[in-house]
Amino acid sequence: MNINCPICQNESTYKTFSFSSNKKNINVYECKQCDFEYLDIWDDTDFVKSLYSGNNYIFTHNISKDEKVALKFDEYKNNYSRIKPFLKKDTHLLEIGCGDGKFLDMVKNDVASVECIELSLPQVLKLRNKGYKCYDLMIEDLKIEKKYDVICLFAVLEHVANVENFLTVLKKFLNPDGNIFIEVPNRKNILFSGFKVESFRRFYYRDIHLYYFTPKSLKKLLTSNGYKCNLETSQQASITNHFHWLHNKKGQENANVMTSIYIPNIDLEKQFSDVLEQTDNFYRKTLNDKGLGDLLFARASL
Ligand SMILES: [Zn+2]
């Protein structure tokens, strides 16, 4: 257990929440200097590794229960469109924590090579079957003399133990003019930081998420480790999902729980859905302009 801030090592931190997981009591601490919350298990490498070993953690994308419904916000497409301007025919790309390789499938024809790191054994086998060069080790244990132009960390940085050490090791694998693309949940999302929905807060903390970044804390972490960075947010959940959190104290339960707009099946459907669509677009834009979107995206370079 370590209550010191992983970014600034400040010891004057505050306990903000507690929960139990795998018979372990876990506490959430906050460093006000860094605007940062983290679990007190953040440097317990063995416990963190145990969360992912064998078949313990298999990430599958939150796909619509109704396959015919297109996602309004597609995380993969969003990441791809942000990264696309940095991809060239001679780019060597590494994705860490690539899950089933959906992003690699999208990007592989744009670049010279793609490789990946994944710890979940079923996913590793699937990736290798698809022909991907996949390392099944923590990057700290990876003994290869290679550098990459683009390194992708989508929904990964909040999972790694000893995040400062991880970022230091990562430099060895980044070309001097390369870029690291990071996507993490934004704790400064409007449900958490603005509306202060208590049920959302309880839903938000989980043992696999060791860190709860805000734009300020992610920037501080990256710059204190020698990276330059640009940050932006995206809004994944729709306005109707937020209405559900505000009034029902839980997320929207129809297909595309995180991302869809709920369109009632009534005669006014078209007219009404247009209003909802425009309202949702305006809501998303306003949140992102203020850095309150639920996903935080950073481009880091040396
Ligand atoms: Zn701190």
**Share in percent of the chain as helix, strand, coil (round to 5):** 35, 25, 45
pTM here?
A: 0.92
Burial (Cβ within 10 Å: 0-12, 13-18, ≥19) of residue 109: exposed
Residue 138 backbone phi and psi in degrees, to 5: -65, 150
- Whole-number Å distance, alpha carbon 194 to ligand 1 midpoint, is 22
pLDDT of residue 262: 57
Cα separations (Å) of 194 from 39, 182, 189, 227, 265? Answer: 22, 24, 7, 30, 31
Give the start-to-end residue ranges of the domains of the chain. 45-237+286-301
Ligand 1: centre distance to CA 227 (Å): 17
Cβ within 8 Å of residue 282, ≥6 positions away:
none
In angstroms, the Cα distances linking 178 to 75, 87, 250 are 23, 10, 41
Rg (the chain; Cα; Å): 20
Q: Report pLDDT for 257.
A: 44
Place of tokens 């010279």: 112
Q: How far is the CA of 9 from the centre of ligand 1 (A)?
A: 6
Alpha carbon of 235 to ligand 1 centroid (Å): 26
pLDDT of residue 266: 55
Q: Answer for the pair 14, 32: CB distance below 8 angstroms, yes or no.
A: yes
Q: Read off φ and ψ for residue 247, nearest 5 degrees.
A: -105, -35
pLDDT of residue 64: 45
Q: Which 8-state DSSP code applies to residue 191? A: I
Distance (angstroms) between ligand 1 centre and the Cα of 223 equals 13
Ligand 1 centroid to residue 130 C-alpha, Å = 42
CA of 7 to the centre of ligand 1 (A): 5
Q: How far is the CA of 295 from the centre of ligand 1 (A)?
A: 21
User: What pLDDT sits at residue 187?
Assistant: 96
Give 199 Cα–ligand 1 centroid separation in angstroms: 26
Cα(159) to centroid(ligand 1), Å: 18
Question: Which residue's entry shows tokens 């020698």?
Answer: 226
Contacts of 12 (CB under 8 A, 6+ apart): none
Ligand 1 centroid from CA 296, angstroms: 19
Q: How far is CA 208 from the centre of its chain?
A: 12
pLDDT given for residue 73 in this prediction: 81
Task: For residue 289, report the distance from its CA to the centre of ligand 1, in Å.
Answer: 26
Query: d(Cα 89, Cα 86) in Å, to the nearest integer?
Result: 10
* CA of 166 relative to ligand 1 center, distance in Å: 17
The rounded Å distance from CA 10 to ligand 1 centre is 5
pLDDT of residue 91: 98
Per-residue pLDDT, 240: 84
How remote is the CA of residue 1 from the centroid of ligand 1, in Å? 16
User: What is the 66 CA–ligand 1 centroid distance (Å)?
Assistant: 43
Measured in angstroms, how far is the CA atom of residue 258 from the centroid of ligand 1? 31
* Cα 213 to ligand 1 centre (Å): 11
DSSP reduced 3-state for 56 = coil
Cα of 142 vs centre of ligand 1, distance in Å, is 29
CATH superfamily name and code, 45-237+286-301: Vaccinia Virus protein VP39 (3.40.50.150)
Element at 248 (helix H, strand E): helix 239-248
Mean pLDDT by 10 residues, the chain (302 residues): 93 93 89 96 88 67 50 85 97 96 96 95 93 93 94 96 95 97 97 93 91 98 97 91 89 57 58 80 96 96 97
C-alpha 294 – ligand 1 centre gap (Å): 22
- Please state the separation of Cα 97 from the chain's center in Å: 11
pLDDT at position 274: 78
Distance 174 CA to ligand 1 centre (A): 26
Q: What is the pLDDT of residue 277?
A: 82
**Ligand 1 centroid from CA 120, angstroms:** 31
